[in-house]
Structure 1
Amino acid sequence: MTQQQLTVNNKGFALVLSEDESLTSSQRLNLIEKEIPPLQIGQVLIKMLASPVNPSDLVYLLGKYGLAPQNNAYCGFEGVGIVIDANAGFYGKWLTGKRVAISAQPGIDGVWAKYAITKANFCLPVRKEISDEQAATLIVNPCTSVCMVERAQALGAKSIVINAAASQVGKGAIRYAKLVGIKTIATVRSQTNVDVLTELGADHVLNTVDEDFDEKLNALATAINATVLLDAVAADDTPRTLKGMPKGSTAIVYGRLTDTHDPIGGRFSVADVIFRDIKIEGFWLATYIGKAKPWQVLALSNKVQKLFASGVFKTDIYASVGFSGFAKAIDHYAVHKSDGKVILRPHLDETV
C-alpha cells in the first residue's frame, strides 16, 4: 500500500498529549484523526501492530522526562509494525513489507497510532517466531537490561544489586545476569514479588519494608562483593541502598519511578561520594543507540531476539487493548507495573 493510498483509504488515528498538568497520565491523552505527511528522506511509514506502555511513557505524559512535552505531540516510544512505504534508499526498500521493532522519533511522531513514521535506521527486523506482543517490547526494556549488565561487567562487577527488581527491566537484568554468571541481589516492596523473583532465579531477594532490610543488604553485598547498583528509583532508596554496598560501588541510574515534582529527581549522599568513593552514572538507551555504530545496534538486537526466541527473555503482559480500553489499562499499569505490560493494539477497534 502506498502512502497516497493510505491517505485516501485509511484513517490514521493516533493518541496525542495534552499539557494540562492537573490531569492524570491517561486523561492527558486525546485520540485524533492523524494527518500523515509525506515521508522525508530516511523515513519509513509503519502500520502499527502493537505498542507497549513503559515507565518512560508515563514519566513523559507527566512532563518529567528528558524530552519536554508539547501540546498535541504524538505519544508512544516503541512498538512493532509492518513497513508499508519508504523513502530511505536501498535499506528502506529492503525493509518494505517486513515486520520490524521500532523506536519513535520523539518530537516528530509517536507509535500509539494506527500508522507511524520513523527513521529507517530506527527499525529492526523481527524474527518470525517472536509474537507481536513480545516484539513490541524488544527495544526499550530488554536492551536496557542487557546494556546495563554488560556495563556492570565492564566495571568489573561479579555481583549486582537491582532495585525495583520486579519491573520488566529488573526481571530482564536478573535473567541476563544469571546467563553471564553475575550474582544478583534484588530488592522489592512486597512479599509476592520476593517469591516471584526467587522463582525467576535471583540469587537473593530482599523486601525493603522489612525492619532488618539494611542489615541484610549490607551483609549480603559485603559477602558477595556486589559493587554495582542498577537504579530505577532515584530517590531515598538510592542512597539507602548504596550505603549498604562496598566502598567504590557504582550506581547506574536508568529511571525514576518515585513520584516527585523535583525536576531533577534523585537524592545521593555527598558523604558517600566523597569518603566512600561511590560513583553515579546514568544510562539512557536513546543516548546509547545514538552513539553506537549501526552494526553495534544490530548486534544488540540480534542478541536480545535470540534471548526471546530461546525463552530466556519474556515480557509479562497484563492486557492487550484497543484505543477504547487503553486509558483504563494505563491507569492500572501506573499503579501495578509489576503485573505486566499494557499493549496497545490499534487495529482492534474497527470503528476507529
Structure 2
Amino acid sequence: MKRDSRVRTIRMRESSHKEVSMALPTNMQALRLESFAGPEGLFVREVAIPTPRAGQVLVKMRTAAVNPSDLMFLRGRYGVRREPPTTPGFEGCGVVVAAGSGFGQMLIGRRVACAAQGEFGTWAEYTIASATSCFPLRAAVNDDQGAMMLVNPLTAWAMLDTAQRAGHRGVVINAANSALGRMIIRVAVVRGIPTIAVVRSNTYVAELTALGATQVLVSSDADFGQQLREASERLKVTMAFDAIAGAQTGELLNAMPRGAHVLVYGALSLAPVQVDVGTLLFGQRRVEGFWLSEWIAKYGMRRVVPAMIELQTRLLPAIDTTPIGHYALADAAAGIRAYQDNMGAGKIILQLGS
C-alpha cells in the first residue's frame, strides 16, 4: 500500500534539551486485529497517526513485546477487551515525539518503556500512551529489554513485594520454566527469598536449580503433593504464584501450611479454579487473583517508580531476557503464531523502527 506523503511538523526536544523541528507522516503501518481469531485475525494496515490529548504522549515505537496476555487478547479472552478492528500490544519501547499538555511535555525526546492506553496498542509504528505510563530508560537498558520492561518484570517485582509485605518468607512458583517464572526465581535470589519451582516434567529441573530455585518439583510425580507439603514446611513457604489455575490451585493450597495464600495470575489450564471449600473454611487459607493493572491502580506511582528504578539498576541482570527472534510487521503474524505454538522456547520481539 502506498504510504501517505503528507507530513505534520512537531517540536522535538533532543537529549541536549534543545528543541528542533521534526516532521511526522500523517499515516503509519499498524498490526490490526480484525477478528478474535488469534494470530490468524492479524493484518498489517495503514492507519492515521493519532494526536495526543492532555496527559498523553505520542511514542515512535522501536520494539514491542509479545506476552501470553496478548494471546488471550487476540481471542477476546483477556480482562481488557477492545472490539476489532483494533491494534493489540500491551507494552513496548520507543521515543516520545509529541505530547499533549501537561507532564508529557517533559518526556519529549526521551526513550521510554511504555504501556498501551485505551484503543491504542503498541504493535504499530506509533502509539498513544498516558504520560504516567511511560518510564524513561537508562542507557544500560537496550530496546529489547525496554520492550519487555513492564509486563513481566513489574509483575515479578509486584508479586514478590506483595509476598514480602504480607510477611511470607518464601514462595511456590508453578509454570516455573516460563519467561516470567524464571524471572521471579532470579529476582527472588537477589532478594534472598526461598523458592519452590514447579514444572510438569524433569526436562527443566537441572536448569532451574542452576538458575537459583531452592527446590524444583515435578507436578507429574505420583507423590508431588507430599513433596510439596514437605518442602513448604521445611522452607516455611506460605504463598504461591499460580499461572495455571484449574485443579492445581487447590493442590498448591492444600500442600502449604495453615495461613497459606495463593495468588492466581494466569489460567494456562483454561480451567476454572478448583478449591475444596473446607480448605478455605478450616485451614485459614485463601485464594486471590492478581492483575498487574489493578495493582498499579491501587498503589500508583509510589510503588511503580521505586520498582522501575530497581528493575533498571540492581535487578537488571535478573530480569534480562534474550528474545529468540525478531519480526518486522510484515512477518509479525507468523512470528506470533510460532510463539503461541511453543511459548516455552522463549520470547519474541516485534521490530517496529529504529
State whether residues 190 and 315 of structure 2, in contact with CA within 8 Å, keep that contact through their aligned partners in structure 1.
no
Q: Paired residue for 2:144?
A: 133
Q: Secondary structure in 1 aligned to 2:204?
A: helix
The answer to whether residue 104 in structure 2 is matched with residue 88 in structure 1 is no
Which region of structure 1 is more displaced relative to structure 2, 247-256 or 332-341? 332-341
- Give the partner amino acid of 2:51: P
Q: Paired residue for 1:345?
A: 351
Q: Tell me the TM-score normalized by structure 2.
A: 0.90
- Give the partner amino acid of 1:96: I
Q: State how far apart, in whole Å, the 2-side matches of 1:328 and 1:208 are.
A: 32
State whether residues 161 and 226 of structure 1, in contact with CA within 8 Å, keep that contact through their aligned partners in structure 2.
yes
State whether residues 46 and 115 of structure 1, in contact with CA within 8 Å, keep that contact through their aligned partners in structure 2.
yes
Which region of structure 1 is more displaced relative to structure 2, 207-216 or 92-101? 207-216
Q: Secondary structure in 2 aligned to 1:238?
A: helix
Deviating beyond 4 angstroms after TM superposition, the runs of 4 or more aligned structure 1 residues are none
Which of 251, 274, 281 is residue 240 of structure 1 equivalent to? Answer: 251
The answer to whether residue 349 in structure 2 is matched with residue 336 in structure 1 is no
- Give the partner amino acid of 1:184: T
Q: Secondary structure in 2 aligned to 1:194?
A: helix
Unaligned residue ranges in structure 2 (runs of 5+):
1-8, 12-21
Q: Secondary structure in 1 aligned to 2:279?
A: helix
Q: Paired residue for 2:166?
A: 155
State whether residues 15 and 32 of structure 1, in contact with CA within 8 Å, keep that contact through their aligned partners in structure 2.
yes
- Give the partner amino acid of 1:98: R
- Give the partner amino acid of 1:2: I
Q: State how far apart, in whole Å, the 2-side matches of 1:164 and 1:60 are.
A: 20
Q: Cα deviations across residues 302-334 of structure 1 (Å, max 9, x unaligned)?
A: 01111454x222124121111232222212222
Q: State how far apart, in whole Å, the 2-side matches of 1:332 and 1:212 are.
A: 34
The answer to whether residue 226 in structure 2 is matched with residue 215 in structure 1 is yes
The answer to whether residue 55 in structure 2 is matched with residue 39 in structure 1 is no
CA shift, 1:294, in A, is: 2.6
Q: Paired residue for 1:169?
A: 180
Q: State how far apart, in whole Å, the 2-side matches of 1:193 and 1:316 are.
A: 18
The answer to whether residue 317 in structure 2 is matched with residue 324 in structure 1 is no
Q: Paired residue for 2:16?
A: none
CA RMSD, 1 decimal: 1.8
Q: Paired residue for 1:182?
A: 193
- Give the partner amino acid of 1:5: A
Q: State how far apart, in whole Å, the 2-side matches of 1:267 and 1:32 are.
A: 42
Unaligned residue ranges in structure 1 (runs of 5+):
none
Q: State how far apart, in whole Å, the 1-side matches of 2:251 and 2:302 are.
A: 39
Q: Secondary structure in 2 aligned to 1:5?
A: strand
State whether residues 53 and 99 of structure 2, in contact with CA within 8 Å, keep that contact through their aligned partners in structure 1.
no
Percent identity, please. Answer: 37
Q: Secondary structure in 2 aligned to 1:113?
A: coil
Question: How many residues in Structure 1 have an aligned counterpart in Structure 2?
Answer: 336
